[in-house]
Amino acid sequence: MGKPSIAVHKFSSCDGCQLAFLNAGEELLNLAELVDIKHFLEAGVADEYAHVDIAFVEGSISTTDELTRIQRVRACSRYVVTLGACATAGGLQALRNLDGSNTEWKHAIYAHPGFIHTLDQAEPVSAHIKVDFELWGCPVNGRQVLAAVQQLLFGVAPLEQRDKVCMECKRQHASCVMVTAGRPCLGPVTRTGCGALCPRFGRDCYACFGPAGNANTAALSRRLEGLGLTPADVARRFLFINNHAPSFNEAGKKHYRQGFSDD
């Protein structure tokens, strides 16, 4: 039998998660000895129609062409794993979903909006096909990607990390920026994976790794308002990189309606 095969597919995204994959360096070279990489344009391998054991998908589904392509990826793959915020929770491009008309945002951004052809909604991959495992982050953590590959290849369900960034801050001996500096940090509702990078440098977490387990967005919303944020500002915090994640979407839209109702 030949080596197990993988593919990495790009949809609406910035390529950051693919780069995180490539930046794994020596670990990626070790992985290449275990698997046959059939398709990965960022690495110079092109065979979009290849049948593979694991297909990694970066990016949200935003156009009719992407909808056709993602269904083909599912049909050609044993496992489908989403890479990062765009594929898993819509990403920044899903912010246009807040425009109910789906036209106002085009006129605000593009000089010739008539040339822009998109689906009514920019959505995560799971809205259209079955996804076997999700890797969160903006970008993803390369080590998590490689670990997921190895676990899937050995028939083990990948371990999903759902600890909060606050727990990671304690492990890293980082001071709480909300307590010490009054910063509107989303660490209490965000899963770790970044190593608490922002809080360790005095910056508040902006939830790039998506919702943690048991994310109490209602309690955090009250705390953010207590720090002086308006409902519109609270909405912007939740409706950002992972705005399609259910708990963030619900909390964000609640404050969005409140904050922008008088505009």
The domain limits of the chain are 5-153, 165-260
**Residue 261 pLDDT:** 62
Digit-coded pLDDT (tens) for 35-44: 899 999 988 9
Q: Which among 80, 57, 211, 59 has a CA at the least distance from the CA of 122?
A: 59
Share of the chain above pLDDT 90, in %: 67
Contact 41, 184 (CB under 8 A): no
The dihedrals phi and psi of 31, each to the nearest 5 degrees, come to -65, -40
Q: What percent of the chain has pLDDT over 70?
A: 97
pLDDT tens readout for residues 87-146: 999 999 898 888 777 777 788 888 888 888 889 899 999 999 999 999 999 999 888 888
What's the confidence (pLDDT) of residue 239? 93
Model confidence at 189, pLDDT cuts 50, 70, 90, reads very high
pLDDT on residue 1: 58
CA–CA distance from 49 to each of 13, 39, 52, 80, 242 (Å)? 20, 8, 9, 14, 29
Mean pLDDT across 196-200: 95
Euclidean distance between CA atoms 252 and 92, whole angstroms: 14
Instruction: Classify domain 5-153 at the CATH topology level.
Output: Rossmann fold (3.40.50)
